[in-house]
Amino acid sequence: MEKYVINGGNKLYGSVDVQTAKNSVLPLLAATVLTDEKVKILSIPDITDVKNMIKILSRLGCRTVFDGCNLIIDSSCADCYEIPSELAHELRSSLFLLGSVISRFHMAKIAYPGGCDIGLRPVDLHLTGLKRLGVDITEENGYIICKCDKLRGNEIMLDCPSVGATENIMLAAVKAEGTTVIKNAAREPEIEDLQKLLNCMGAKVRGAGSGTVVIEGVNELNGCEFLPIPDRIEAGTFLIAAAMCGGEVELTRVCAENLSSLLHKLRENGCKIHVNNDKIVLENHRRLTSVKSVETQPYPGFPTDLQAQITTLCCICRGQSIITENLFETRFKYVPELRKMGADITVINRNAFVRGVERFKGATVVAHDLRGGAALVTAALAADGMSSVLDISHIDRGYGAFEYKIRKLGGDIVRVSV
């Protein structure tokens, strides 16, 4: 087990490159199962979620090899349709493979990701969509068993715009017979990225980024080389850290359009932000003013994956804020840890009521999840004194070379074995 030890109070200056998007790379890797030809994904982020996805691909029989930071996947020898429980539980996003494995083998067997019950909406939306394509689904000893003689296109209306369900249906439908129309589809940039890869492989997909995605089935897909989009959540985390600590930080290889909801809030806080092509510069040299409210929403609304970070920023701004989490019920687990650092936060149902304090104080805190853990690191960077952030394996799931990038900007952070 490892922890971060952070001496807070340093302003941040300098430039860092943004990694390719975790939330894009994982479904892109799942898509490589659909072809017998080699697919090369460029600039793979060095994060544990990707490493676990590669383990799953290897278990399916795929061959993977790194060419520098690029990954070549050869699925021509794939011969297994089962994703075992130990790997499914390591990677919550293993469910992304369901659509592509069904398309490849007309059969799939996967343990419930994270031990979730099948009746829960996140899993149910995936399975309901697959049933509409002709998949028979049963439950057996903690596994989801999927079988079909043939995948057939159909119209699918999602009860809510789930990113994972939209991607899974796209992956299952690209080689289905006929046309599939997904209505109330998720609009996230990662959906568009998956469409671009699939079309590069010879698929016929259109409409990604809108509420309706249309997939015309094709007989086979080819290999290709593909560069995923930059990680808007990593970029947002560094922008918020710079806003909290003060200084001037430049992010390179970033898409400002995908961060428009965050940039609007940071300008409302009082940050100076300059955008030039694929670069964003944030400058701040004073205590900021709280935004009155933030509500998480599906894209293009404010992302739930930046909710913990923006709440942490509001904790040390002048004034009061109300943060509303509309997507996930348990996304305030980090709040008791921020209180250890002096934050004044009251959580009632899906709302966090934040009263700004002058500064955080160093403390020992525990990361309970990926984004909450990253928020605790930003709090420690802005705090007076020394902090320890425990259970950083959660953070490693989504942030590659996190402490290296922070040190490059002048933050005092080290990784320590405990």
| Among 69, 80, 116, 200, the one annotated catalytic | 116
pLDDT tens digits, 123-135: 889 999 999 999 9
pLDDT at 167 over 70: yes
CA distances from residue 267 to 19, 181, 364 in whole angstroms, order as listed: 24, 38, 31
pLDDT in tens, 60-81: 999 999 999 999 999 999 999 9
pTM of the model: 0.96
Query: Within a 10 A sphere around the Cβ of 68, how many other Cβ atoms?
Result: 8
DSSP string, 169-231: HHHHHTTSBSEEEEES----HHHHHHHHHHHHTT-EEE-BTBSEEEEE--S----EEE-PPB-
pLDDT computed for residue 157 by the predictor: 97
Q: What confidence score (pLDDT) does residue 33 get? A: 97
Q: What are the structural domain ranges in the chain?
A: 2-19+230-417, 22-226
* Distance between first and last Cα of the chain: 6
Q: Note the CATH number of domain 22-226.
A: 3.65.10.10
**pLDDT value for 117:** 33
Topology alike, domains 2-19+230-417 and 22-226: yes
Q: Does the active-site annotation cover 116?
A: yes
3-state DSSP helix/strand/coil percent for the chain, to nearest 5?
35, 30, 35
3-state SS assignment for residue 10: coil
* Cα separation values, 370 from 7, 47, 397, 418, Å: 21, 11, 7, 19
d(CA 31, CA 35): 8
With 60 as the cut, is the pLDDT of residue 227 above it? yes
Q: Percentage of the chain with pLDDT > 90?
A: 90
Nearest one of 6, 41, 22 to 396, comparing CA atoms: 22
The CATH code for residues 2-19+230-417 is 3.65.10.10
Residue 142: predicted pLDDT: 78
Side-chain half-sphere exposure of 238, counting CA atoms within 13 A: 34
